Amino acid sequence: MAVDRIVPTQRPVEHRDTRLKGLVLRVTPGGSKSWYCEFARGKRVWLGRADVLGVTEARESARAILAVVFQGIDPIEARKPKAEMPTFGDYLDGDYADWAKSSQKAHAQNLNRLKTAFKALLKKSLDKITALDVERWRAKEVERGLSNQTINRDIASIKACFNRAVDWGILPANPLAKVRKARVDDCLKVRYLSEAEEARLRAAIEEREERRRAERDTANRWRAERGYVLLPSLRDSVFTDHVKPLILMSINTGCRRGELFDLTWSNVNLDRRILTVTGATAKSRRTRHIPLNREAMSVLLNWRAQSEDTSGLVFVNEQGERFDRANSSWRRLLKDAQIAEFRWHDMRHHFASRLAMGGVDLNTIRELLGHSDYTMTLRYAHLAPEFKLKAVEVLDEAREAALSGAKVLSIVR
């Protein structure tokens, strides 16, 4: 290709090398001449100006690029400057936080747990964090007395975090893929109320209701004596506030506290006796339908009758907004009922435990609780001993059948 002899024209012209397919010389009307390597239709790489790069050098550069293309690498992408690898902390505050906000219901809690548990790794580059780092972290956590269950949850969280980095092309592979969870007893004893404890809790609830009614009566007598406007009498209401209906709904539906706080009247079908926990409010992000027993139906009917707004949230605070806690009233009730080591969430376990002890199969319990698999539901298996008893009774039946057969054989003989 005689580059010096090529004369510019009124329009840009491209000349292709006859010896190396893909090498192109582009000549502009102004006389500028540049080398390009075309490696695919519509894709090319600029090599340099012809007054600096000779034909031989242009061919060598083009051959090098075509060799890279043959290896399956896009030379354009390869030439782009690589993005700086973020630190673990920057990654959590940036891309991962953006994803978590749109994908995880408890994103703030999860991000905070990652930052707290793995504080020592926050300033390390993502590609510099290794499985050994996490194993060293595990050893320190065990030494300071953390349970394997807690450590396993943190390990699952950071591994999932790195999986996202792989999916997004930030990392080529998950360096923590081979970090294993510690073995734990998956069927831990669950806390549920004994019959005596439930009776005391219900009695404490009724005592609280009567106390609130009496306090309102006293307040109204005081106001009447001074000519003030009376407050609505609580004697006319089935419930004095949200506490009793919330507790009874927890016991009879197994809903999480947050699911009840998010429950709307549009998701309560009193005609069909079904309460719907939508995927948007459920921890599992899966919608589930819970049949309402007689007590749950009675609670909702009476609560609806005394609610001012039956179009929005079922339970609202005095400002008409969503509840975010009910701790003080709950703690006092437990104290009055003399119940120790029992959380609000344990009412969910109480619901499932009563079902298991009543002979309900584990798959139905799993569906009612909204568990994605049996792992969590199996903790209630030991509460249904009659099923295991039936299983081992198969041995008795087999032995009795064998003995019966032996007797028949002896008689025939």
Q: What is the DSSP letter of 316?
A: B
The closest alpha carbon to 39, from 15, 75, 13, 14, belongs to 75
Tell me how long the chain is: 413
Strand order in the sheet with 274-277: 268-269, 274-277, 288-291
- 361: which 2 tokens? 């199969």
For position 409, what pLDDT does the model report?
A: 54
Residue 186 or residue 298, greater confidence: 298
What is the Cα–Cα distance from 48 to 61, expressed in whole angstroms? 10
More reliable by pLDDT, 90 or 2: 90
Q: What is the pLDDT of residues 271-319, one digit of tens each?
A: 999 999 998 888 777 899 999 999 999 999 999 999 988 889 999 888 8
Confidence of residue 243 (pLDDT cuts 50, 70, 90): very high
pLDDT at 391 over 70: no
The arithmetic mean of pLDDT across residues 129-134, rounded, is 94
Nearest to 367 by CA among 295, 294, 290: 290
Give the DSSP H/E element, type plus range, for residue 27. strand 23-27
- Do the Cβ atoms of 324 and 315 come closer than 8 Å? no
Q: What's phi and psi for 290, nearest 5 deg?
A: -115, 120
pLDDT digits over 2-11, tens only? Answer: 788 888 888 9
Structure tokens at 304: 């609806």
Tell me the per-residue pLDDT of 43-84, one tens digit each, with 9 for 90 and over.
899 899 998 899 999 999 999 999 988 888 888 877 776 668
- Cβ neighbours for 38, distance < 8 A, ≥ 6 positions apart: 22, 23, 24, 44
CA–CA dist 407, 261 (Å, integer):
66
The predicted pLDDT at position 408 comes to 53
Q: How far is CA 372 from CA 253, 278, 292, in A?
A: 17, 15, 22
The answer on pLDDT for 172 being more than 60 is yes
378-413 burial string, b = 16+ CB within 10 Å, else e? ebbeebbeeeeeeeeeeeeeeeeeeeeeeeeeeeee
Q: φ, ψ for residue 47 (rounded to 5)?
A: -100, -35
Q: Which H helix or E strand runs over 35?
A: strand 33-40
pLDDT value for 321: 86
